[in-house]
Amino acid sequence: MACANILIGHRNWVQDVVFSPGGDRLASASDDCTIRLWNVATGDCCLILTGHEGGGRRVSYSPKRDVYILASGSYDRTARLWDVASGQCRALLRNIQGVVLGVAG
């Protein structure tokens, strides 16, 4: 099976990837402190979400196709909810007792 696209952009290890509910986007969390959203068909990076001060650990889309929210967790002991249409952070949870090992949409 051939690889359809190689996604180039993160500058450090990728910790997690997840497909959007519609399957047309992919979100990736990296130790470069960014969350990137990718167009699956083209392999292009559509959006770079910044704000975490530690590497990205986990990402998860809202399961509803018409709700464009992405949750992210980080080594900086924060979790964020992102509006992926605008790229804005809509909620921030701080001072979590340790690394955020999981998030769910």
Architecture of the 14-93 domain: Beta Barrel (2.40)
For residue 66, is pLDDT > 90?
no
Distances (CA, A) of 46 to 42, 92, 96: 10, 22, 29
Average pLDDT, the chain: 88
What does the domain layout of the chain look like in residue ranges? 14-93
Tokens of 61: 């889309």
Residues 6+ apart with CB under 8 A from 72: 29, 35, 49, 52, 56, 58, 59, 79, 80, 82, 103
pTM of the model: 0.88
pLDDT digits (tens, 9 = 90+) for 22-60: 899 999 999 999 999 999 999 999 999 999 998 888 999
63 falls in which pLDDT band (50, 70, 90)? confident
Residue 66 and residue 72: Cα distance in Å, rounded?
A: 19
